[in-house]
Structure 1
């Protein structure tokens, strides 16, 4: 379930806030004078490096609890090959992104998943509908997945009934995913990755996971190496639908020893659980419906909880980020202090490289606004390849646009024009419509004192 989007000043993110609950959630112009849209090549996922003891705990908490906190009585998955079909009015990019994702699921997670022949029924129906239709069915959601139905028109009258209850499932046979068909290609793809992963695998999200789409911070937008490892374990032959938490826990050590031998001798980290008070504070600070004062109070409360918990990981960093975000307009220097603190904690957290790239957009933007192209260039340099490796076109285009402004400040105008042109192809995928791409271009260009 996508609870809320990480709201960056310089970066549009994939999905809008979702009210906490038990439902897992997350058109190109005909012609344009912008460069052609760019897409990513072969995936380059980074494999997780941590103890199998920690991975077993992650697996159990992801698989036996909903985001609302409700426990799931038994383990459920599809038993046998999984067929997928697309209905509704899908955008042009969806077919390619779906095929790439299913190829990854087959090759990385060893899941038998395939696209059903046109007109045939399928285990998973992906219905592409308008964002307004999605919000009518589930307010504030950008995308979501539910069991035992195939169309969005079926969902609203069956919402909160036993038919669509994940807790009542004993095996998975028929599910529906609802994706927007009037969003940017990246937003559609991001929703596809998270919702398909939850349709076939774990239903929970955990803030403590730095390198996963199963995290409400929405930093990762495509399935990571950690996610594929979890899904591979989910479909291991040792498990089956209907098993209890204890039965699954008993089998996990031999499963993880087989599929992740490198984690056998690593020391366990035993990351602390995330208190609901912290999650609620972050939701208030960055989600919808709160006043500016309430947001700031909530962000400070999230940081107080993080400090009291003794966290020095990405959750402490995220609390600093939230405070920085909310202080940008009123106290830019204090905001930058929080962003620098966030960067330091992210740097000390294995698996949080992509988080640092997000913070770098804030730090570099501030340097550019002060006419400091050199600092901006140094800040941006490590993160461009990280954005590309993680297939985040919106972030990649933002980093490149910032780099172009920094180059202009250094007097390297020809290089700046080349980098800016390169960024626009990624922006076409990340932000979608021509007006959104141009708005992003103007927004970042306006940071530079050279542009007034």
Structure 2
């Protein structure tokens, strides 16, 4: 746990927000299924996909620091991937070299951002960087299993917009297999109009759906709906949906940011 003075540095520097919504429409079964469809089975910049894409193998993370504050960034990433691993029940760990990694997270500067996007994502990705604060991408194999991913965060740009934590949380979560942003999903970090810097209760449920043992990579919308309907009924009965907003705050980032 961070010393108290560092917590104040975090809050002043990152200007993060977390707002609990009083609108609980997202707890309705039909809303949850539709939210999963929008976020997991769609692509932000392409109509391709429309199937479940997720990691089937352990995720091995390498942090590439091209700027200062190495320990700060590492701590933020560690807190979030620990939370994700718990929600997904899927192993995520750091590795000691880039050769061992299948998820690379680059902390860089805005002046070098375009060059690094071209190197990691390809030259075409540079065309969609304008207006973005940070970027991520993942690659799948023929079975739609995610095999590798990369995230680029220009730290000076993210801090200028007060979105360093948001970039870390949203981009890492998206490369878990929830790649699409949608204004139809609220409250969620995948909705640009939601004042969320951290995962909402809805986001936690979406991750649990995606990594449910009943689902597998390559399943279509028609394939997943019966399993999701059954899972959501079970969650209604055992209280998982009702307590989702409270349970999501078990992550270390929440008390760190004052929640």
* TM-score, normalisation: structure 1: 0.43
Alignment match of 2:208 (pick from 221, 232, 235): 232
For residue 82 of structure 2, what is the aligned residue in structure 1? 103
In the alignment, structure 1 segments of 5+ residues that lack a partner are 1-34, 149-165, 267-350, 352-387, 397-452
Give CA deviations for 1:228-270 in whole Å, capped at 9, x if unaligned. Answer: 110111111111111122111221112223445467999xxxx
User: Structure 1 residues 90 and 258, CA, compared in 2 at 3 Å: closer, same or farther?
Assistant: farther
- Aligned-partner Cα distance in 2 for 1:74–1:247: 9
Q: Counterparts in 2 of 1:169-180, with a 5 A limit?
A: 170-180=144-154
Q: Secondary structure at the match of 2:54?
A: coil
For residue 30 of structure 2, what is the aligned residue in structure 1? 53
Alignment match of 2:109 (pick from 104, 123, 130): 130
User: Structure 1 residues 206 and 169, CA, compared in 2 at 3 Å: closer, same or farther?
Assistant: farther
* Equivalent residues of 1:131, 1:142 under 8 A apart: no
For residue 9 of structure 2, what is the aligned residue in structure 1? 37
Write 1 or 2 for the structure with the bigger share of helix: 1
- Computing the radius of gyration from Cα coordinates, the structure with the larger value is 1
* Equivalent residues of 2:183, 2:193 under 8 A apart: yes
Write 1 or 2 for the structure with the bigger share of strand: 2
In the alignment, structure 2 segments of 5+ residues that lack a partner are 1-6, 13-17, 118-125, 246-252
The answer to which structure, 1 or 2, has the higher relative contact order (CA under 8 A, 6+ apart) is 2
- Aligned-partner Cα distance in 2 for 1:105–1:227: 11
Q: Counterparts in 2 of 1:79-158, with a 5 A limit?
A: 79-92=56-69, 93-118=72-97, 120-135=99-114, 137=117, 138=126, 139-140=129-130, 141-148=132-139
- Aligned-partner Cα distance in 2 for 1:167–1:253: 28
* Equivalent residues of 1:52, 1:263 under 8 A apart: no
Give CA deviations for 1:14-70 in whole Å, capped at 9, x if unaligned. Answer: xxxxxxxxxxxxxxxxxxxxx961459xxx996966112210111112222123461
For residue 184 of structure 1, what is the aligned residue in structure 2? 159
* TM-score, normalisation: structure 2: 0.71
Give CA deviations for 1:269-320 in whole Å, capped at 9, x if unaligned. Answer: xxxxxxxxxxxxxxxxxxxxxxxxxxxxxxxxxxxxxxxxxxxxxxxxxxxx
Question: Is 1:210 matched up with 2:186?
Answer: yes
User: Structure 1 residues 200 and 38, CA, compared in 2 at 3 Å: closer, same or farther?
Assistant: closer
Q: Secondary structure at the match of 1:184?
A: helix
* Equivalent residues of 1:126, 1:178 under 8 A apart: yes
Number of corresponding residues = 220
Alignment match of 2:227 (pick from 251, 270, 284): 251
User: Structure 1 residues 169 and 213, CA, compared in 2 at 3 Å: closer, same or farther?
Assistant: farther
